[in-house]
């Protein structure tokens, strides 16, 4: 069993904790929200007990960007020592261990790496830094044991799985691993416009084909009518052009023309 303790400033336990401590504790006791009893900078703490301490730590940060660092006692990262979680805000926040208070700047960088800078006081001045730890892009993405016997996790893991867009509002160095709402809206609108253009093109094409067919039918009708008229006129033209006349021959004249018998 593991104890996951989240620290908050003030008298409430809502919002994003400024530090989460992970430790093995077979006698773990749940605490909903109570004053801190150890010598740390925390005002209030909550404690949950879980076997899946990674997911329990993620749940503490909710939708805020974060970094989780797990510390091991061997080069293969098989012996778990302790773990820490910090909001990846790029600003100075309080932190502590069981025996010591300190301040930390946790950052997720655009190249996919993560870094933790530890300071002895709340000024977090660069000249007063006493420890700096970092994980490169591969270590953060794969969670493999690095050369310092650390494993790294971050909110980018959740981003990759869910597609939600989370950003940090202060450091300017936190990159989202997913599409933002604006990007998604742009894709949807672009797809809609493309669909409308396609439908209009199809409509115009069909209309053009219909007009062409109508013109063809009209031409064929005109040709057929002309042909029919010409045919009729050809059959009756003889009677229009020729005049047939007859003249009566007197009976007495018929004798002048002998009949020929065969």
pLDDT along the chain (262 residues), means of 10: 90 88 94 73 84 95 95 94 94 68 89 93 85 93 95 84 41 41 65 71 72 58 52 48 47 51 42
Burial of 42 (0-12, 13-18, 19+ CB in 10 A): buried
Residue 25 backbone phi and psi in degrees, to 5: -155, 100
What's the confidence (pLDDT) of residue 135? 94
Q: Quick one: residue 222, left, alpha or beta (phi over 0 = left, psi -120 to 50 = alpha)?
A: alpha
pLDDT, one tens digit per residue, over 154-211 is 999 876 555 444 433 333 344 333 445 556 666 766 677 667 767 767 777 777 766 6
**Are 208 and 144 in contact, with CB atoms under 8 Å apart?**
no
What does the pLDDT read at residue 233?
53
CB count within 10 Å of CB 193 equals 10
């Amino acid at each position: 069993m593991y104890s996951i303790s989240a620290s908050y400033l003030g008298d409430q336990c809502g919002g994003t904790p400024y530090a989460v401590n992970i430790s093995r504790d077979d006698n773990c006791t749940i605490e909903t929200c109570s004053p801190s009893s150890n010598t740390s900078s925390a005002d209030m703490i909550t404690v949950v007990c879980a076997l899946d301490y990674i997911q329990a730590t993620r749940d503490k940060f909710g939708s805020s960007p974060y970094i989780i660092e797990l510390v091991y006692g061997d080069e293969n990262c098989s012996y778990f020592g302790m773990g820490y979680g910090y909001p990846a805000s790029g600003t100075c926040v309080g932190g502590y261990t069981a025996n010591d208070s300190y301040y930390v700047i946790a950052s997720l960088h655009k190249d996919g790496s993560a870094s933790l800078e530890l300071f002895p006081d709340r000024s977090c001045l660069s000249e007063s830094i006493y420890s700096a730890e970092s994980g490169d892009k591969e270590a953060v993405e794969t969670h493999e044991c690095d050369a310092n016997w650390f494993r790294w996790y971050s909110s980018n893991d959740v981003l990759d799985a869910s597609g939600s867009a989370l950003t940090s509002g202060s450091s300017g160095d936190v990159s989202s691993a997913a599409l933002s709402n604006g990007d998604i809206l742009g894709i949807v609108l672009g797809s809609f416009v493309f669909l409308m253009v396609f439908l209009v093109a199809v409509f115009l094409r069909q209309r053009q084909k219909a007009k062409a067919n109508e013109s063809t039918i009209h031409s064929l009708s005109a040709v057929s009518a002309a042909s029919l008229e010409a045919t009729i006129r050809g059959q009756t033209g003889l009677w229009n052009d020729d005049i047939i006349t007859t003249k009566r021959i007197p009976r007495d004249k018929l004798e002048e023309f002998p009949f020929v018998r065969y």
